[in-house]
């Protein structure tokens, strides 16, 4: 039809006044890259995400605006993959004697308690010189103390492993402690360990468990097909796609290439390096200087790192919610650690349901109509009995005390039933 009518259209154009010329049409949105229809999503979630891609992608706006391409950001563990890459890497390192003994366990974290220091010193011993590998493959007691402190924040005897003051919306000591345990390693060595852990966990059948010390934990990891396809589609539609993880950035970068995200687009906990080796120091964000983990990519910390690294907003302003032109279009996460940056998204908030209170309170409240709640893609959780206590203790305050979840206008989110589950 268009070819047949070309001569007539040209003739009309030659005789029509210049003011009558019609504006050029934007590309049809049906031509935008499409999410695969063969990969299942819950309910109409695929359609919601496709609508956002059509509206915000460069296929709908062929020329980037003054602020550049639209941005999508994803948490990693249990958002893009099933299970936890920090745990997988630490487990592999412990099983292969790759953790170096610190001069003092108290040096690994400013919040480590005396009880934890004593437990680790007793279990791991002092016969191995500082800076040399601990024999954790055979020393079950040492491995158990490390695993218990990492997983539960306490020693094997039940004593608190961390104490003191920290901003509970900017950091959590036991998350920061994992990269601090890798102090003394070179970045190349840690990359190698993470890749070997990756190969082992991807090869293990779904449902595999492993024993580390006497602790039983997941022994497999899988990339989610839905998220791989979503990231592929976003990139094809002109989005800049980032990973923002509370894992070591080196470990996250060993995994992110599996979904087509390069190291430059992978943000994680950044350990400082001295003489070519990691230290227990951690880079700060915004107006928080480099230190020992006071501002990692965790809850509000993820907003800060996105603002600082992606939108180049510096100083204290990086902690604040920005105008829409300086915010991500899509945010995806699975836990309260992700709730701030996912909520900052202007196009869609993708929440993977792992029964985490603040994230699910905001997802089910759906104040702006842009929340997309989806069960976990592998082994989804059943409905959470009793729902979520949004109105009383769904929110974590800076001092760690629970409080009500509030909307941007200050009103309290009512308690929510768990409606999207396995």
Query: Residues 186-202: what's their mean pLDDT?
Result: 98
Q: Which two tokens stand for residue 390?
A: 């949004």
The set of residues, in sequence order, having a beta carbon less than 8 Å from that of 195 and lying 6+ positions away, is: 254
- pLDDT on residue 222: 98
- Is the four-CA dihedral 30, 32, 35, 37 of positive or negative sign? positive
Q: What average pLDDT score do residues 350-370 get?
A: 98
Give just the sign of the alpha carbon dihedral 138, 142, 144, 147.
negative
Q: Which domains does the chain have, with CATH numbers?
A: 45-84+220-403 (3.40.50.1000), 85-216 (no CATH)
Cα separation, 302 vs 293, in Å, equals: 13
- Calculate mean pLDDT across residues 155-170: 98
Quote the mean pLDDT of the chain.
Answer: 93
Give percent of the chain with pLDDT exceeding 90.
Answer: 90
| Across 267-272, average pLDDT | 98
Section 178-182 average pLDDT:
98
Residue 15 has pLDDT above 60, yes or no: no
Predicted pLDDT at 31: 78
Q: How confident is the model at residue 22 (pLDDT cuts 50, 70, 90)?
A: very low
Q: How confident is the model at residue 60 (pLDDT cuts 50, 70, 90)?
A: low
The DSSP element (H or E) to which 374 belongs, if any, is strand 371-375
pLDDT of residue 129: 98
Q: Quick one: average pLDDT of 167-175?
A: 98
Q: What is the mean pLDDT of residues 393-404?
A: 98
Has residue 73 got a pLDDT over 70? yes
Phi, psi of 275 (to 5 degrees): 55, 35
Task: Tell me the per-residue pLDDT of 90-131, one tens digit each, with 9 for 90 and over.
Answer: 999 999 999 999 999 999 999 999 999 999 999 999 999 999
Distance in angstroms (rounded) separating the CA atoms of residues 89 and 197:
5
Cα 321 to the chain's mean position, in Å?
A: 18
Cα 103 to Cα 166: distance, rounded to the nearest angstrom: 24
Mean pLDDT, residues 27-34 taken together: 71
Band (pLDDT 50/70/90 cuts) for residue 68 is confident
What the block records as the tokens of 72 is 């999508």
Q: Does position 174 have pLDDT exceeding 80, yes or no?
A: yes
* Res 28 pLDDT > 70: no
pLDDT of 61: 67
């Amino acid at each position: 039809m268009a070819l047949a009518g070309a001569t007539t259209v040209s003739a009309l154009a030659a005789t029509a006044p210049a003011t009558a010329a019609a504006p050029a049409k934007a590309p049809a949105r049906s031509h935008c890259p499409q999410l695969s229809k063969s990969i299942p999503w819950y309910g109409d979630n695929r359609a919601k995400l496709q609508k956002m891609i059509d509206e915000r992608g460069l296929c709908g706006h062929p020329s980037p605006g003054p602020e550049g391409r639209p941005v999508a950001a994803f948490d990693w563990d249990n958002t893009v993959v099933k299970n936890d890459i920090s745990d997988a890497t630490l487990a592999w390192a412990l099983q292969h004697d790759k953790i170096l003994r610190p001069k003092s366990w108290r040096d690994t974290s400013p919040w480590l308690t005396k009880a934890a220091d004593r437990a680790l010193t007793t279990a791991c011993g002092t016969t191995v010189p500082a800076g040399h590998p601990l024999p954790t493959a055979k020393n079950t007691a040492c491995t158990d103390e490390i695993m218990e402190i990492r997983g539960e924040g306490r020693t094997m005897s039940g004593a608190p492993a961390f104490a003191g003051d920290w901003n509970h919306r900017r950091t959590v000591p036991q998350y920061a402690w994992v990269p601090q345990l890798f102090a003394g390693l070179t970045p190349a060595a840690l990359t190698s360990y993470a890749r070997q852990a990756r190969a082992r966990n991807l090869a293990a059948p779904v449902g595999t468990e492993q024993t580390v010390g006497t602790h039983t934990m997941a022994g497999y990891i899988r990339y989610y097909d839905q998220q791989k396809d979503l990231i592929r589609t976003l990139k094809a539609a002109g989005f800049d796609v980032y990973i923002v993880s509370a894992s070591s950035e080196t470990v996250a970068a060993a995994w992110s290439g599996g979904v087509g995200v390069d190291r430059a687009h992978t943000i994680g906990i950044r350990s400082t390096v001295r003489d070519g080796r990691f230290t227990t120091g951690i880079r700060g964000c915004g107006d928080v200087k480099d230190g020992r983990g006071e501002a990692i990519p965790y809850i509000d910390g993820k907003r800060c790192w996105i603002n600082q690294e992606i939108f180049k907003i510096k100083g204290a302003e990086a902690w604040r919610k920005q105008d829409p032109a300086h915010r991500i279009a899509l945010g995806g996460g699975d836990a309260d650690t992700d709730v701030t940056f996912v909520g900052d998204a202007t196009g869609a908030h993708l929440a993977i349901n792992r029964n985490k209170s603040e994230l699910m309170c905001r997802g089910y409240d759906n104040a702006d109509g842009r929340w997309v709640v989806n069960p976990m893609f592998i082994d989804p959780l059943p409905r959470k009995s009793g729902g979520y206590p949004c109105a009383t203790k769904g929110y974590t305050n800076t001092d760690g005390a629970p409080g009500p979840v509030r909307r941007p206008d200050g009103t309290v989110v009512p308690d929510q039933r768990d409606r999207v589950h396995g």
